[in-house]
Amino acid sequence: MGTNMKKHLKEVKMTYPVHFMVALGMAAETFVMSFVLVIHAIIPCVFQKRFSKWVEEYNKHFNG
């Protein structure tokens, strides 16, 4: 394991398996949100606030 990877895992206070699962979960959510945005682009009255709420949740997660 490279020193940069060890440093990052230490900074986020996670083991590699935990970090892997968290990052994978975030990737899955981001994937789903991309479809939400596509649907919203086609039909603006659908998912009017869902993406904004999701961004706020993530912002709280990362910035406390």
Q: Which domain holds residue 23?
A: 3-63
pTM of the model: 0.75
Domain tally, the chain: 1
Q: What is the pLDDT of residue 2?
A: 77
In tens, the pLDDT along 10-25 reads 999 999 999 999 999 9
Residue type, 16: Y
| Percent over 70 (pLDDT), the chain | 98
Q: What is the pLDDT of residue 1?
A: 62
Q: What is the mean pLDDT of residues 33-61?
A: 93
Give Cα 53 distance to the centre of its chain.
12
Q: What is the DSSP letter of 48?
A: T
* Gap between the Cα atoms of 46 and 7, Å rounded: 42
Would you say 36 and 48 are in contact if contact means Cβ atoms under 8 Å apart? Answer: no
Structure tokens, 12: 């986020």
- For residue 27, which of 15, 19, 38 has the smallest C-alpha distance? 19
Q: Which residue has the higher pLDDT, 56 or 62?
A: 56
